[in-house]
């Protein structure tokens, strides 16, 4: 598979032409029903509406789009020789829609922060599938690395964090505001241990 290495440590890869335009269009026109995106609050122990994540989301709880998980797994399975790893490590796919002006302010995808939170089965990597590119703005921007990834339809962005805090913190990233059109992505988060089946 053709990919570009955007950063070695932490590893950030952009895989090209993973999904065909037809596959992306079939997902886009499948009647996904979105609701306001939420962020997880450890204080409240629940997902809540926030002012830092203003998109709309859809959780693929019925595995309708499981083929995305399998394709993403095939891309990165060889990187995880150091731990047991299969498609059960993937959370259910979450789709995001960003309309004009919507964004996701700088954040981390993992949960464990020294002295702040700890869960046994933390996230170790993220994969973002770009389903369209007929919009303006809406890049994925790594704040501390100065890496700005412009979405390309059918490509997949992969980045990992391996429990080394100094490296993890470099994966702080943002979904910049969409300035024209509508951005559509599918996000796959990978856990350290088995997380889901189906």
Distance of CA 53 to the CA centre of its chain: 14
CA angle 76, 134, 59 (to 5 degrees): 50
Q: Would you give the DSSP letter of residue 170?
A: G
Residue 196 domain-assigned?
Answer: no
Residue numbers of the domain that contains 115: 3-191
Please tell me the distance from the alpha carbon of residue 87 to that of residue 134, in angstroms, as a whole number.
Answer: 30
Residues with Cβ within 8 Å of residue 133, at least 6 apart in sequence: 150, 151, 152, 153
Total domains in the fold of the chain: 1
Lowest-pLDDT range, 18-22, 47-51, 126-130? Answer: 47-51
pLDDT band at 81 (very low <50, low <70, confident <90, very high): low
pLDDT for 136 equals 98
Residue 197 domain-assigned?
Answer: no
Average pLDDT over residues 88-97: 96
Please tell me the distance from the alpha carbon of residue 142 to that of residue 83, in angstroms, as a whole number.
Answer: 26
Residue 198 domain-assigned?
Answer: no
Length of the chain: 198
pLDDT for 82 equals 59
Average pLDDT over residues 133-137: 98
* % residues pLDDT > 90 (the chain): 74
> Which of 184, 129, 97 lies closest to 17, judged by CA?
129
- Per residue in 43-77, pLDDT (tens digit) is 777 788 888 999 999 999 999 999 999 999 999 98
pLDDT for 113 equals 82
CATH code of the domain containing 183: 2.60.120.620
Average pLDDT over residues 163-168: 78
pLDDT for 45 equals 72
Q: Is the dihedral of CA 36, 118, 126, 52 positive or negative?
A: positive
Average pLDDT, the chain: 92
């Amino acid at each position: 598979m053709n990919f570009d290495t955007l950063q070695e440590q932490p590893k950030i890869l952009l895989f090209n032409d993973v999904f065909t335009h037809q596959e992306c269009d079939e997902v886009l026109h499948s009647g996904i029903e979105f609701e306001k995106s939420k962020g997880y609050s450890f204080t409240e122990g629940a997902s809540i509406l926030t002012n830092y994540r203003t998109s709309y989301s859809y959780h693929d709880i019925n595995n309708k789009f499981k083929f995305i998980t399998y394709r993403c797994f095939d891309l990165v399975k060889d990187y995880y020789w150091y731990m047991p790893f299969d498609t059960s490590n993937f959370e259910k796919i979450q789709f995001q829609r960003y309309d004009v002006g919507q964004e996701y302010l700088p954040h981390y995808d993992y949960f464990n922060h020294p002295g702040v939170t700890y869960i046994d089965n933390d996230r170790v990597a993220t994969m973002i599938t770009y389903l369209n590119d007929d919009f303006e703005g809406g890049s994925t921007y790594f704040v501390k690395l100065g890496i700005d990834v412009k979405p390309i339809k059918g490509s997949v962005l992969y980045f990992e964090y391996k429990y080394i805090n100094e490296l993890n913190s470099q994966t702080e990233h943002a979904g910049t505001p969409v300035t024209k059109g509508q951005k559509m992505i599918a996000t796959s988060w990978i856990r350290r241990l088995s997380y889901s089946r189906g």
